[in-house]
Structure 1
Amino acid sequence: MTTDGESDARYPAHWESDIVAADGRTVHVRPIRPDDATAIRRLHGRCSPETIYYRFFTPLPELSDAMLQHFVVVDYVDRMAFVAESGDELIAVARYDRLAGSSDAEVAFLVDDAHQGRGLGAALLELLAAYARQHGIGRFVAETLPDNVRMLKVFQDAGYRVARTWADGTVHVVFPIDPTPSSAAVMAERERRAAARSVAALVNPTRVALVGASRTPGSVGDVLLANLLSARFEGSLWVVNPNAAAVRGIPTVPSLRAIGQPIDLAIVAVRAEELPLVLEDAHAAEVRALVVVTAGFSDIGPEGAEEERRLVASARRLGMRVVGPNSMGVASPAIGLAGTLAPFALEAGGTSVHAQSGPLSLAIVAKLAQASIGIASFVSSGNKADISGNDLLAWWETDERTRCIVLYIEDFGNPRTFARVARRVSATKPILVVKPEREGRSRVEPDRPGVLDTEVAIDALLERTGVLRTQTLEELTELVRLLESQPLPAGDRVAILANTQGPAPLVADAVLRAGLDLAPLEPATVERLGTLGRAAARNPLELGPGVVPADWERALELLLLDATVDAVIISFIPTVVGAPGDPRLLANPLPGGTLRGAPAQSLARAAEIADAVTKVATQRGRDRPKPVVANFLALPGVPERLGAGPRTIPSFDFPESAARALGHAARYARWRARANGTPLELVPLAGDWARDPLDESADEDRELDAEAVAGLLDWLGIPRRAPSGGRREELEGRAVHLRLELIHLERYGPFLRAGLAGDAFRRIGASVAVALPHTDRDVIDFLEAIPGADLVVGSGPYPSDDLVAIVHRLVTLAERRYDVAALTLEPVVGTARGWWARSGRCVVRPLRLEPAMITRSLRAPGSPSPA
């Protein structure tokens, strides 16, 4: 029997975590402790007779001391339990007990009646299974009563392959606890729903309170209240100030609990030392979420960071999510919520924005406002101590107001979660990030094993997820304008419609630099365009300065009807033609041959042409509308006319801007149209990799010796010896040599990299890196993208099933062993007989597995991002 002292010494504190329940509130979960006996007794006493009967199969009004001792004293290996806390009370417990001499363990749950229906059983099952896998347990078994529908549903809905048998009036349940595509999908969907509900209190509240409203003009509390009042919030707004009867003419309340109603969102602008008292008050008022504008936490140094950790930990234990500290606020213009420090009003629209940097977050929305881009919701996360971009993506994924998503983030939080969530969201809504490439950074040599350049990693992660990377706010704004107003192009072929010879070549060059092609135009289109009086109808199409708006209308219509055209760029520059007084003049002549500013007649003609192209582009849409963008050199009034129809045509000051935005849109369209493939299922591996355990006190990575690497490859099932006849084919020169690498970056997650090995690599000098594949199609695309892969002709079908199997096992390793920092297989030899890895190198890192790495638990407050 394990004693209390032994139990305390082995207590796995790093498995403490926070989860988001199905109702969006947070719950603290931790391993059970011997001193939980009193709280367990209270939990048992609060449960209904029915709940107790379902758990113990017999009426049990009270736990005996012996039973209580058995429940709370575990060895954290063969006997384990997690408890869920709400405030000072335990509200649920889940446990397993290994069956003697077996890798099976019996699992059982008890959830407080008042907290049933919050998804706690499912969340605890996921956590318990993850812990059990780390201790050699492969299956869970359970006995339950047939009418215990809730518990049976927890097992069935978990996504595991559950087998059920009936005997002696009970249901016997057995299921393997290794993750499956189904269980991963279930986990992800529960994570999405819970995160979305927690974010709803932030960006779609009905009851809001401002804590710290001030009578001092220009203070933070004053600016926040002024913005809230000017936006005319649709819900209920309370102002909390214990020292004033009214602020800005609004009656105040002394505290949150004095409101007497549950509060969705509390915006807090008080001194840092007052926040603990505000938390207690918020808990009493049943506040769901806090926006902490107060600075002076991790933004000022280590001491502030520790205060921030305690703040978030306390809030989560009380069931609340936190934005900030050091936040610039939140806004949802459509409902009149403007809880920000912005010195300008935000108009409602379809773009949602999350920015980590406070001042820059306001710069982003200001830039969007200048471009007449409306905001669906805005969240400045400041120090990002709790709510992250991953949480917000879960809400925006199904938010009807959000059509486009903008992120400015300094890191990806949990990169595995980001990769999973962003890929799912990008399938239906574009996600844009502002992440400039760092200048002066040291690029890593491409052939250095086990090391991946940061910029290469970022690009690979964004490519995997379909996220569009922009370098500047200007580029971001251009792309948002296009994506907000135009359909995605079906391909890369662009037609250019211009009125003079001057700009057309510039536009064409810009199109090619953006990675697009000039549409060849169908012969029928060329023939019809000839009727407009053009001697040479081609792409770019130059109409000339003397054409009338009807010619523009007809030309654009023909280009949009052409099957070889995927998008159209319109370029218009006013020109000097005809006699003085001609309305097509750019400017009126003055004595001496000089010109003065554009006359009203020229602007009117430009507006007429804008009306003509708008009519065609928006009112004569086909089954698959094509994007149309314009370059009118920002003539006064023209952009407004381009937005007069049902669908705005974005006008750009420079042709390069139009082409660049169109290039981004085309790449995003290709990504969305790709074949998705089937989710990869981890390769079943027997036992665990037999090697010396890592020294968790070490602070450096270390390379394993050849014997340990051989054992790792054998455990993974990667062949190290040539198949029959394979070595002969290699010696005869009928083989291909590859380098395959798994590289696990702590900030950005796991990646695969591949290239030809040996002399072939030195000749080609290139490799391909991708974020960890999620589907079988991802694996095929990765192998087909290897530079020089066409040289494998003669070695059999490529990529062959056995090469795909090797990559599949590298993916399994990345998901099973987070302590593998890098594994390089070189050479991986391929012949018509098969593929094998002749040798390898492996670097491991000292790493303690935490719940946020392998479950839908939240990252521990103040902890670095788990990779």
Structure 2
Amino acid sequence: MSLEALFNPKSIAVIGASSKPGKIGYAIMKNLIEYGYEGKIYPVNIKGGEMEISGRKFKVYKSILEVPDEVDMAVIVVPAKFVPQVLEECGQKGVKVVPIISSGFGELGEEGKKVERQLVETARKYGMRILGPNIFGVVYTPAKLNATFGPTDVLPGPLALISQSGALGIALMGWTILEKIGLSAVVSVGNKADIDDADLLEFFKDDDNTKAILIYMEGVKDGRRFMEVAKEVSKKKPIIVIKAGRSERGAKAAASHTGSLAGSDTIYTAAFKQSGVLRALTIGEAFDWARALSNLPEPQGDNVVIITNGGGIGVMATDAAEEEGLHLYDDLEQLKIFANHMPPFGSYKNPVDLTGMADGKSYEGAIRDALAHPEMHAIAILYCQTAVLDPRELAEIIIREYNESGRKKPLVVAIVGGIEAKEAIDMLNENGIPAYPEPERAIKALSALYKWSKWKKKHENQ
């Protein structure tokens, strides 16, 4: 069954809606309204009556069966013991998909797992899908849908985020806002009683609003299916996974957290490699890669050029490139074009050192030449903040030149400095140009793009 109703529902019921701030049923109503959802919203609460939230008045229905219209999605926020009954009513009503926020199921052990299985049986009987239980909800920015109790101001963009952990998922939503990372979707999967990572990958594979997928995972229920689907999706779009539970104790903690079978870590590593999944070890690394993979075109060749104003960061970037197996372009005859943009004591050997005297004009000329040169396939622009050039001015130059070039090549940026450097990095990221505060992070993100692109080219026709 398609997951269309999960991401583009025409109408939503919130069962357990509340007008009391601090309650989850209130937060979900508030987020739906304030994020701009344009479909119909029906609050359901056993008490009935009326409620006002964010300046909008609603009639409250005592049961979903009382709602006069069709309901595509029902978000359940009632205590665990009432969920089976409420789900049965959703089935009778013809609801298509049900995110169950409530916890107190499979994560508690065998008894809870049994109830979970019964919920899935009910859903199957009516042709419904369940997301969760034990989740914080779902966001889909193209539909202005924020049915979560997380932050309201999620930035729209091309990255889909799937999280098995609720608290971490909410924290990551907040983090993406701070770091100017745009999201197409956020999906909390919790116990994965029904809808799992593989189902979501299948949806995002054909979703035009999603360019890359990032998953925080503690375990999978059906490993073989996940790997088969991941392999198909990786041929079209990159998948990054943060797989927790690498250590023995971590695996045990994952089992008690979402009732997950974590399994042997070496098996996961091998399986990810086979299916083209990029495995990140930290949150920072995962998002660094995701920035590049969701915004940049694939490289059309192996030649990387580093342009810098500081010998030190140039060397650090070169070390990182070597460790990552990236090929630095070394045709000196061709690299000579950069001599036009530097003083006589600069170096046009790659890394191209424009020297600390580099101003806006030097960078502009060097960037333009690199973007136009047919044998320079990927570019890393590095900048150490000096009094000669305001980092924000450099950011404007990069944005303009990259846009005018048609964004045909991957380009990453690292700017090292103070508050102005941070502002410049934010400007670049808001414009879909991956920018970082350290040269190594920029190079490793570029390397992740190369790794996926090479895997894809190798497996495309298999």
**TM-score, structure 2 length as denominator?**
0.89
Note the residue ranges of structure 1 that are not aligned, 5 or more in a row: 1-23, 25-196, 443-452, 576-582, 585-601, 679-867
Which residue matches 1:569?
Answer: 380
* C-alpha spacing 1:286/1:675, structure 2 compared with 1 (3 Å): closer
- Does the 8 Å contact 2:74/2:99 carry over to 1? yes
CA offsets 1:399-444 (integer angstroms, 9 cap, x no match) = 12112111112223322222221111112211111125724789xx
Q: 1:520 aligns with which of 330, 334, 339?
A: 330
Note the residue ranges of structure 2 that are not aligned, 5 or more in a row: 251-262
Q: Residue 297 of structure 2 aligns to a residue in which SS? A: coil
- Does the 8 Å contact 2:94/2:126 carry over to 1? no
Distance 2:341 2:127 in 1: 71
Distance 2:427 2:460 in 1: 40
- 1:58-77 correspondence to structure 2 within 5 Å: none
* C-alpha spacing 1:440/1:206, structure 2 compared with 1 (3 Å): closer
Which residue matches 2:140?
Answer: 332
Which residue matches 1:456?
Answer: 266
Which residue matches 1:666?
Answer: 450
Matched, 1:638 2:407: no
Which residue matches 1:323?
Answer: 131
Q: How far 1:529 sits from its partner (Å)?
A: 2.5
Which residue matches 1:202?
Answer: 6
Q: Which amino acid aligns with 1:648?
A: G
* C-alpha spacing 1:525/1:440, structure 2 compared with 1 (3 Å): same
Which residue matches 1:648?
Answer: 432
Matched, 1:261 2:69: yes
Which residue matches 2:199?
Answer: 391
Q: 2:47 aligns with which of 219, 240, 243?
A: 243
Q: 1:314 aligns with which of 122, 143, 165?
A: 122
Distance 1:609 1:319 in 2: 55
- Does the 8 Å contact 2:42/2:61 carry over to 1? yes
Which residue matches 1:225?
Answer: 29
Matched, 1:543 2:366: no
* C-alpha spacing 1:280/1:649, structure 2 compared with 1 (3 Å): closer
CA offsets 1:339-390 (integer angstroms, 9 cap, x no match) = 1111443222221121112212212222222221222122111111111011
Structure with bigger RCO (C-alpha 8 Å, 6+ apart):
2
Which residue matches 2:364?
Answer: 553
Distance 1:210 1:265 in 2: 9
* C-alpha spacing 1:561/1:456, structure 2 compared with 1 (3 Å): farther
Q: Which amino acid aligns with 1:202?
A: L
* C-alpha spacing 1:525/1:228, structure 2 compared with 1 (3 Å): same
State the identity as a percent: 30
* C-alpha spacing 1:549/1:244, structure 2 compared with 1 (3 Å): same
Distance 1:418 1:363 in 2: 25
- 1:383-782 correspondence to structure 2 within 5 Å: 383-436=191-244, 438-439=246-247, 454-526=264-336, 529=339, 532-535=342-345, 536-575=347-386, 584=388, 603=390, 606-621=391-406, 625-633=408-416, 635-642=421-428, 648-676=432-460
* C-alpha spacing 1:627/1:231, structure 2 compared with 1 (3 Å): same
- Does the 8 Å contact 2:151/2:174 carry over to 1? no
- Does the 8 Å contact 1:332/1:378 carry over to 2? yes
Q: How far 1:643 sits from its partner (Å)?
A: 5.4
Distance 1:238 1:417 in 2: 36
* C-alpha spacing 1:528/1:222, structure 2 compared with 1 (3 Å): closer
Q: 2:161 aligns with which of 353, 356, 376?
A: 353
Q: How far 1:555 sits from its partner (Å)?
A: 1.6
Q: How far 1:255 sits from its partner (Å)?
A: 1.4
- Does the 8 Å contact 1:436/1:470 carry over to 2? no
**TM-score, structure 1 length as denominator?**
0.49
Q: Which amino acid aligns with 1:454?
A: S
- Does the 8 Å contact 1:530/1:537 carry over to 2? no
Distance 2:286 2:21 in 1: 35
Q: How far 1:640 sits from its partner (Å)?
A: 4.4
Q: Which amino acid aligns with 2:449?
A: A
* C-alpha spacing 1:662/1:436, structure 2 compared with 1 (3 Å): farther
Q: Which amino acid aligns with 1:431?
A: I
* C-alpha spacing 1:440/1:291, structure 2 compared with 1 (3 Å): closer
- Does the 8 Å contact 1:213/1:247 carry over to 2? no
Q: Residue 350 of structure 2 aligns to a residue in which SS? A: coil
Q: Which amino acid aligns with 2:339?
A: L
Distance 1:261 1:211 in 2: 15
- Does the 8 Å contact 1:520/1:564 carry over to 2? no
Q: How far 1:397 sits from its partner (Å)?
A: 1.3
- Does the 8 Å contact 2:131/2:192 carry over to 1? yes
- Does the 8 Å contact 1:292/1:325 carry over to 2? yes
Q: Which amino acid aligns with 1:547?
A: A
Q: Which amino acid aligns with 2:195?
A: I
Q: How far 1:677 sits from its partner (Å)?
A: 5.0
Distance 1:347 1:638 in 2: 18
Distance 1:369 1:461 in 2: 32
* C-alpha spacing 1:527/1:479, structure 2 compared with 1 (3 Å): closer
Which residue matches 1:365?
Answer: 173
- Does the 8 Å contact 1:393/1:425 carry over to 2? yes
Q: How far 1:336 sits from its partner (Å)?
A: 2.4
Distance 1:485 1:273 in 2: 44
Q: Which amino acid aligns with 2:41?
A: L
Q: Residue 408 of structure 1 aligns to a residue in which SS? A: strand
- Does the 8 Å contact 1:261/1:285 carry over to 2? no
CA offsets 1:752-791 (integer angstroms, 9 cap, x no match) = xxxxxxxxxxxxxxxxxxxxxxxxxxxxxxxxxxxxxxxx
Distance 1:609 1:260 in 2: 57
Q: How far 1:515 sits from its partner (Å)?
A: 2.3
Distance 1:488 1:524 in 2: 23
Distance 1:659 1:380 in 2: 31
Distance 2:427 2:264 in 1: 44
- Does the 8 Å contact 1:642/1:650 carry over to 2? yes
Distance 1:213 1:476 in 2: 35
* C-alpha spacing 1:385/1:514, structure 2 compared with 1 (3 Å): same
Q: Which has the larger radius of gyration?
A: 1
Q: Residue 363 of structure 1 aligns to a residue in which SS? A: helix
* C-alpha spacing 1:394/1:539, structure 2 compared with 1 (3 Å): same
- Does the 8 Å contact 2:306/2:379 carry over to 1? yes
CA offsets 1:681-716 (integer angstroms, 9 cap, x no match) = xxxxxxxxxxxxxxxxxxxxxxxxxxxxxxxxxxxx
- Does the 8 Å contact 2:163/2:169 carry over to 1? yes
Q: Which amino acid aligns with 2:5?
A: A
Q: Which structure shows the bigger proportion of residues in helix conformation?
A: 2
Distance 2:338 2:88 in 1: 75
CA offsets 1:590-619 (integer angstroms, 9 cap, x no match) = xxxxxxxxxxxx53xx33333333333221
Q: How far 1:670 sits from its partner (Å)?
A: 0.5
Distance 1:641 1:337 in 2: 26
Distance 1:218 1:511 in 2: 49
Q: Which amino acid aligns with 1:225?
A: M
- Does the 8 Å contact 1:498/1:541 carry over to 2? yes
- Cα RMSD (Å) of the superposition? 2.3
